[in-house]
């Protein structure tokens, strides 16, 4: 299995209660909840994962009504599984 990387989409494997990295919020995560790795810590021993807690809502005109709710939490490899690998990195456009 390849190591997790930034921008991989991952799924939480088991119920977890964890502290949000950037607020006092204690987050209750459920199995199957999806997030995106935004930082690899300690050479892959842990990951900052951006988790959507509440989806944003939009009006019929496409304007946002509610921005939703997000949290960044630190998870370890045994707490997540890969859903979708990060997009392949593209080099600079040709001259």
- Domains of the chain: which residue ranges? 9-84
Beta strands, E only, the chain: 9-12, 16-19, 26-29, 34-41, 46-54, 57-58, 64-66, 69-75, 80-84
- pTM as predicted: 0.83
Burial class (CB within 10 angstroms; exposed 0-12, middle 13-18, buried 19+) of 38 = middle
Mean pLDDT of the chain: 92
Can you tell me whether residue 7 is helix, strand or coil? coil
Tens digit of each residue's pLDDT (9 = 90 or more) over 37-61: 999 999 999 999 999 988 899 999 9
User: What is the rounded average pLDDT of the residues 16-36?
Assistant: 94
Q: Average pLDDT of 77-85?
A: 97
Best CATH choice for the domain 9-84 from the list 1.20.120, 2.30.30, 1.10.1200, 3.40.50:
2.30.30
């Amino acid at each position: 299995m390849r190591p997790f990387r930034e921008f991989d989409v991952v799924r939480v494997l088991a119920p977890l209660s964890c502290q949000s990295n950037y607020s006092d919020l204690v987050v209750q995560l459920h199995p199957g909840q999806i997030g995106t790795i935004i930082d690899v810590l300690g050479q892959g021993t842990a990951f900052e994962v951006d988790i959507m807690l509440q989806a944003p809502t939009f009006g019929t005109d496409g304007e946002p009504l509610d921005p939703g709710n997000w949290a960044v939490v630190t998870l370890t490899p045994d707490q997540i599984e890969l859903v979708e690998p990060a997009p392949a990195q593209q080099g600079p456009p040709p001259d």
